[in-house]
Chains A and B, each alone.
Chain A
Amino acid sequence: MSAHPKRTGADASAPRFSTISDMEIAPLYGAGDLPADPSVIGGPGEFPYTRGPYPTMYRGRPWTMRQFAGFGSARDTNARFRFLLAQGQTGLSTAFDMPTLMGYDADHPRALGEVGREGTAVSTLEDMIELFDGIDLAAVTTSMTVNCSASIILAMYFAVAERHGVPMAALGGTIQNDMLKEFIAQKEWICPPEPSVRIIIDMIEFCTREAPRFHPVSISGYHIREAGSTAVQEVAFTLADGIGYVDAARGRGLAVDEFAPRLSFFFNLHNDFLEEIAKLRAARRLWARIMRDRFGATNPRALMLRTHAQTAGCSLTAQQPLNNVVRVALQALAGVLGGVQSLHTNSMDETLALPSEQAVMVALRTQQIIAEESGVTNTADPLGGSYAIEALTSRIEAEAEDYIRQIDAMGGIVRAIELGFPQKEIAEAAYHFQRQLDRGEKVMVGVNKYQLGDEPPMDLLRIDPALEERQAARVRAFKQARDQARARDRLTAVRRACRDGENLMPPLIAAVKEGVTLGEICDVYREEFGVYRDPAWL
């Protein structure tokens, strides 16, 4: 790829102006940089949705303020949820701990040292009940960031909703459930790509029928960017993953106009202000064209890319952490000017620990200031028609489309992942950026420029080390208290569905209700589908 062109010739010593992705920027853009045909851009709420999915954008409906939260026990996280709702947050977003994300119960040896540390610990339906205790699941939408064990967490969520008297059809929310980007970037997995995609398609099929307000997958560029990709790679690999899911769902016989409206997206908001705004606009336009031209979608909701976004964790610095408040505000503003539907703003202390209550409140207030003080929400896509923004939008779209063509030529995204193509492209970009930082060609304020010697410590959130043993004991007691024969039968039914291709969701819901744990079901996945191992490409 030509992402990082070698500089040769007479101008090699001239100053170079490029985005954080190292895309060169012209000194001035003008009318000649706009598409000749205005329908290439279109209007807000019009194909190809460059200017946003809705005609009135934030005048009609503000974005959802959704702070990602989870630490310690389910009870600890439930208290944080209630705090955030009391502060004016409008949706929930759940972070699970590493054992939950990788399909191990809290009492498993591989969970040692990790329980409740990067999110909340959920091994059983009892934990899930506690997590959502006292929260009106018919009134809030809940996002759950979980992937290889997502099918079990979703089954538990449906079981909790049933106990609250809320039918599946009334539940709104999103489960991340994007395994293709796990193999590419975030790297939490159980089984190889093919069975992983099969489980996802089971969930899409089930939700389309039974929980039509729920988004069964959130196709995520966030982690691709965090792993070090460029903005173009983020768009390209995310949409290539989306193509992979649409292909697989159509292969199951699902109609694109029926299931595609429930596909949602998740992008990163990094430091480069104009590039990020253009990236979101490019992603919407390219997706609309792909859905129409490649898949023949006609339902407008199947064509429009709707997205959550989160400010870039990797842009935050441990040095002079108060500066992170400013970074997050700029990134969030780029997201709003780029037209996102839902937003998480990172907390200033997140390079040091999970966020404290005070830090998370400043992050939420940042969104509220943008929404209610800045005035940028008064008109749809205020930067539409800007020469620079439209030029960057077209360029990111074209370069992302090039990548997608390369992936098509390899035989699709699953094959490209098996070949390590996106993984290696991202590692290359990450290394390139690190070398630019080391040479001072790119600046991180407080890190490679404007450093301070001594810095005052911040008050950080600490996880009680005794939590782990308490949680493990709780799981052991839960397993002893259930009806063992019935739990065994339910687990056998899950195994049967793994083998014969029956949709996994009904037996999973029945299993978690009977006390089968997340780790036990993931053990069945490991036995039936095999275990994926990191190819450890450098």
Chain B
Amino acid sequence: MKPQRTLRILVAKPGLDGHDRGAKIIARALRDAGFEVIYTGLHQTPEMIAEAALQEDVDAIGLSILSGAHNTLFPAIIRLLREKGAGDVAIFGGGIVPPEDIARLKADGVREIFTPGAATDEIVAWIRANILPRGY
């Protein structure tokens, strides 16, 4: 078995809203937990996020969505990654997402969605347990 390298994670903020408190806290918590973190900044289109994921060669993308547009934006990003041959990049997310939408998004390929009140340690533990570097 190959020694496992450090996970590279893109923290991305799609949509038009400017609620970046959560995204920034998660990016810092993941960095403090020892992951390599790239933060896109605000107002990213699905195309910009998929492109950044490829350019940065990340293993996972954490999407923060609080605008109510999750049912449009998550599937668009997954579709673009698949088209670009990067369908194995793990997608997880956080934000205000109702339970029935979480079920549908998971069926579409989102690995996990964290809702308000999730502790950063819980998110770090989930990543450690569930995400491997690509190719492993």
Contact = CB atoms under 8 A, between A and B. Distances in A.
Contacts of A435: 120
Kindly name the residue among B15, B27, B31, B71 whose own CB sees the greatest number of chain A CB atoms within 10 A: B15
Contact of B20 (A98, A187, A434): A187
Interface stretch (A112-120, A165-173, A377-385): A112-120
Nearest to A350: B96
B15 A98 contact: yes
Contact of A188 (B18, B27, B31): B18
B24 A538 contact: yes
A319 interface: yes
A318 B16 contact: no
Contacts of B15: 98, 113-114
B69 interface: yes
A430 B24 contact: yes
Contacts of A187: 18-20, 42
Q: Looking at chain B's contact residues, is the secondary structure mostly helix, strand, loop, or mixed? A: loop
Contacts of A460: 98
A536 B41 contact: yes
Nearest to A187: B18
B72 interface: yes
Interface string A454-469: 0001001001010000
A11 interface: no
B39 A536 contact: yes
Interface stretch (A99-107, A265-273, A404-412, A500-508): A99-107
B135 interface: no
Interface stretch (B56-64, B80-88, B111-119, B126-134): B111-119
B43 interface: yes
Given A188-B17, A434-B29, A110 B120 contact: no
Given A102-B16, A427-B24, A460-B98, A318 B116 contact: yes
Contact residues on B (Cβ < 8 Å of other chain), bracket: 35 or more
B21 to A, nearest CB: 5
Contact residues on A (Cβ < 8 Å of other chain), bracket: 35 or more
Given A319-B117, A538-B39, A430 B96 contact: no
B103 interface: no
Given A352-B96, A431-B25, A434-B25, A114 B119 contact: no
Contacts of A228: 21, 25
B64 to A, nearest CB: 13
Interface of A: 98-99, 101-102, 104, 110-114, 117-118, 182, 185-188, 226-228, 314, 317-319, 351-353, 427, 430-431, 434-435, 437-438, 444, 447-448, 457, 460, 463, 465, 533-536, 538
Interface of B: 15-21, 24-25, 27-29, 31, 37, 39-43, 45, 67-69, 71-73, 96, 98-99, 115-117, 119-121
6 contacts: A99-B16, A118-B17, A438-B120, A444-B117, A534-B20, A536-B40
